[in-house]
Copies of this chain bind each other. A is one copy, B any other.
Amino acid sequence: MKNINIWLDQIQNDYKAAVSVDCVIFGYDDQNLKILLSKCDMPPFENQFSLLGDIVHPNETTDEAAYRVLVERTGISNIYLEQVQAFSAPNRHPLGRVITISYYSLIQIDQTFLDHVAAHPDLILKSVNEVHTLAFDHKLIMDTCLTKLQKNLREHPLGFKLLPSRFTLLQLQNLYESVLGITLDKRNFRRKMNTLGILKESGEIESDVPHRPAKYYYFDETAYHDRVELGFSFGF
């Protein structure tokens, strides 16, 4: 076993690294899965985009650091946040050894959020499938978080966090098709949602649409929790 003085040296001097958090912030705008990015001004990545992140401060956990970044940069509190994975290739950062812990979060792209992005020229909202390169290893981090989101979306009622509180069945189906990259049969999708019993009619219908107005639904969290106890899966 290692001598305690070796431990002391390694922990307090020799083997120190910086630890950061990087947040993959996903939103959905009724058409595409979007990601919030920041303009990067660190050489050699000037004019590229990067994920939103920061160094973890001495008195906070990585979860707290990720939450701080989200609140500071998006203006939204109470965001869904999930830790995904550490990325630690020795040369991933040009300024020195930085090990980063990645998170993904899900936000609703409403007018308040769009106004916030418009007011901050360093921020940009891009379609995930149009992001081909990012600064650092952030493209790899984005792809890893997207895979995790897709997996979780099949197992947990996460999709509702990307939609307004009231939505039509078509909006919900479009969300799953867009994020999972699959095509779902409309009738089967509606039957499955009906069987799951986790959606409730809000009593409202669409207005000012050229087709027959669709009903608005909301996600019934209580019904979902009752279902979970019995074993639950979207089964796509």
Contacts and interface: CB of A to CB of B under 8 A. Distances in A.
Interface of A: 1-2, 4, 7-8, 10-12, 15-19, 38-39, 41-43, 54-63, 83, 85-86, 88-90, 93, 95-99, 101, 122, 233
Given A86-B86, A90-B61, A122-B1, A8 B95 contact: yes
Nearest to A60: B90
Given A7-B95, A10-B18, 8 more contacts: A11-B95, A12-B18, A16-B17, A17-B18, A17-B56, A17-B58, A19-B19, A58-B97
Contact of A55 (B15, B60, B83): B15
A99 B19 contact: yes
Task: Give the 10 A-B residue pairs with the shortest CB-CB distance, closest first.
Answer: A16-B16, A11-B18, A61-B88, A10-B55, A62-B88, A11-B95, A15-B55, A86-B101, A11-B96, A17-B19
A52 to B, nearest CB: 10
Contacts of A89: 61
Given A11-B95, A19-B17, A19-B99, A42 B4 contact: yes
Copy number in this complex?
A: 2
Contacts of A97: 58
Contacts of A18: 10-12, 15-17
A200 B85 CA distance: 36
Contact of A99 (B56, B85, B96): B56
B58 A86 contact: no
A44 to B, nearest CB: 12
A16 B20 CA distance: 10
Contacts of A86: 62, 83, 86, 101
Contacts of A11: 18, 55, 93, 95-96, 98
